[in-house]
């Protein structure tokens, strides 16, 4: 996609644009589209903050109803077909889940860009459209990437962009269409000009040509070959499917042409993550898909994969509506929405390429892949990938006071001079003052090799 001499600078600049200060930022174009959909209000971008506050104050009772609905989500998360028929449910989803899910999708697109996995055309099928999260996130990501490319004098010519949105319910299809039309209005009224303005027109043409398809994958597989997509995305879908639906999803993905990419994303909860990893194992073992991220197929022992909890998390710069809505929650619920330290982006994912050729990964002695961490009274537990270890799970225990390099999701580290023991099927690597922990320099996130 980009020349080697330009790629690192473009990736770094784009990362700083999307993730300032290490926390994801909600796109201003998408944010203003959100106000248009929810409140039918058009915001003057030159007085943006002031007008947003006035709109929130004006629609206080509506926002309070949404906050009450969010409280219901915390008590019992139900995403049934009947729920999606409720307009208040969709509005609540749009306020509470939509912003963070946009950022998750843009993060995964950034990973694909890092790996030169995005070609000159981008024909997308979005299974489970919800409130239009995936489509608007990708279009906005392409605009941001084009902006950074122009800043660096680099070509970025993805012009063949087609999107098909699929959902079992008519209501989400209609809602997502409103969201994308509101985003189109923001692009159309923006002052973007020159090369970026020309690219804006390409994105507007894409929005105008989006197809919205009603289809129940629980009942019937989807023949994706008819549309020859480059990228199929099923976000927050797998855990809502029946066993028959999962089989139909497999059959649908199996109809793709070789080389097509597949993104499966689910919430970061243990159950959702493990269900995703179990489905990932089924795809990998079929011999028709090669795992692209966050792990690869070149490990002999995959017995631990189906029980892996590969949750990842990121901080989130909470936009005004998001903050003001969550201020109305009860005191206990408010604690998770602190602005300083939060991991509001929490998800698990698996990315595949339709291909029978797996990626072989050499095994290095005493090398471990970091997934996540949590703290106990006397030490920090570093959860690591257990594939190939012969154990159901793998942990590194770091006593407080022993310093190690900063770790990122998926980062490899080599640990020497550490004690090992097995507790109830878990391999535990215990660090002490004699242990040495080394990581690769400039290694990036998501189980990929260094791009330095």
CA 118, CA 91: separation in Å to the nearest integer?
Answer: 32
The Cβ of residue 137 has, within 10 Å, a number of other Cβ atoms equal to 24
The 10 Å Cβ neighbour count of residue 296 is: 17
Neighbour tally for 93: CB within 10 Å:
24
pLDDT value of position 111:
87
What is the C-alpha to C-alpha distance for residues 299 and 280, in angstroms, rounded to an integer? 14
Q: What's residue 445's pLDDT?
A: 45
Q: Which of 244, 180, 247, 257 is nearest to 212 (CA)?
A: 180
- pLDDT number for residue 361: 59
3-state secondary structure of 80: coil
* List of domains in the chain: 4-354 (3.40.50.150), 367-439 (2.40.50.140)
Q: Are 30 and 182 within 8 A, CB to CB?
A: no
Taking the C-alpha atoms of residue 420 and residue 52, their distance in angstroms, rounded to an integer, is: 55
Q: What local confidence, expressed as pLDDT, does residue 381 receive?
A: 95
pLDDT in tens, the chain (452 residues): 788 788 889 999 999 999 998 899 999 999 999 999 999 999 987 889 999 999 999 999 999 999 999 988 877 777 777 788 789 999 999 999 999 999 999 999 998 998 888 988 999 999 999 999 999 999 999 999 999 999 999 999 899 999 999 999 999 999 999 999 999 999 999 999 999 999 999 999 999 999 999 999 999 998 887 778 999 999 999 988 999 999 999 999 999 999 999 999 999 998 999 999 889 888 888 889 888 776 665 555 566 777 788 888 888 999 999 999 999 987 777 766 766 667 788 999 989 899 866 555 566 789 998 888 888 999 999 999 888 788 888 999 999 999 999 887 778 899 999 999 999 989 999 999 999 999 875 444 444 444 33
Looking at residue 76, its pLDDT comes to 74
The pTM of the full predicted model, rounded to 2 decimals, is 0.88
């Amino acid at each position: 996609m980009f020349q080697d001499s330009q790629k690192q600078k473009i990736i770094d600049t784009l990362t700083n644009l999307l993730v300032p200060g290490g926390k994801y930022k909600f796109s201003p174009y998408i944010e203003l589209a959100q106000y248009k959909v929810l409140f039918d209000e058009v915001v003057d971008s030159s007085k943006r903050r002031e007008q947003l506050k006035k709109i929130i104050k004006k629609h206080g009772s509506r926002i309070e109803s949404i906050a009450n609905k969010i409280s219901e989500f915390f008590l019992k998360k139900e995403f049934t077909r009947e729920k999606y028929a409720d307009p208040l449910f969709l509005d609540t989803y749009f306020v509470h889940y939509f912003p963070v899910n946009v950022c998750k999708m843009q993060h995964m697109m950034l990973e694909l860009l890092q790996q030169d996995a995005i070609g000159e055309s981008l024909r997308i099928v979005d299974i489970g459209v919800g409130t239009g999260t995936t489509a608007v996130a990708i279009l906005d990501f392409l605009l941001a990437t084009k902006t950074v490319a122009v800043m660096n004098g680099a070509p970025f010519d993805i012009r063949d962009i087609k999107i098909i949105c699929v959902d079992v319910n008519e209501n989400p299809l209609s809602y997502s269409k409103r969201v994308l039309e509101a985003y189109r209005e923001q692009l159309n009224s923006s002052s973007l000009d020159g090369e970026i303005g020309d690219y804006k027109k390409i994105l507007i043409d894409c929005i105008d040509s989006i197809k919205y398809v009603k289809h129940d994958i629980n009942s019937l597989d989807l023949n994706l070959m008819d549309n020859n997509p480059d990228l199929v995305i099923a976000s927050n879908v797998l855990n809502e499917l029946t066993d028959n639906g999962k089989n139909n999803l497999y059959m649908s993905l199996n109809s793709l042409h070789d080389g097509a990419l597949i993104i499966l994303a689910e919430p970061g909860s243990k159950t959702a993550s493990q269900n995703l990893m179990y489905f990932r194992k089924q795809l990998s073992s079929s011999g028709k898909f090669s795992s692209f991220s966050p792990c690869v197929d070149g490990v002999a022992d995959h017995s631990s994969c189906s029980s892996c909890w590969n949750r990842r998390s990121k901080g989130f710069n909470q936009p005004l509506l998001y903050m003001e809505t969550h201020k109305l929650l009860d005191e206990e619920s408010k604690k998770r929405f602190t602005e300083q330290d939060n991991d509001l982006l929490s998800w698990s994912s698996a990315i595949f390429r339709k291909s029978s050729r797996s990626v072989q990964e050499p095994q290095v002695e005493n090398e471990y892949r970091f997934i996540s961490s949590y703290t106990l009274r006397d030490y920090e537990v570093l959860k690591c990938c257990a594939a190939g270890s012969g154990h159901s799970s793998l942990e590194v225990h770091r006593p407080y006071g022993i310093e190690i390099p900063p770790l990122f999701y998926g980062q490899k580290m080599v640990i020497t001079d550490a004690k090992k023991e097995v507790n109830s099927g878990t391999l535990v690597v215990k660090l002490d003052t004699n242990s040495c922990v080394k990581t690769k320099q400039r290694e990036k996130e998501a189980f990929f090799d260094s791009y330095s």
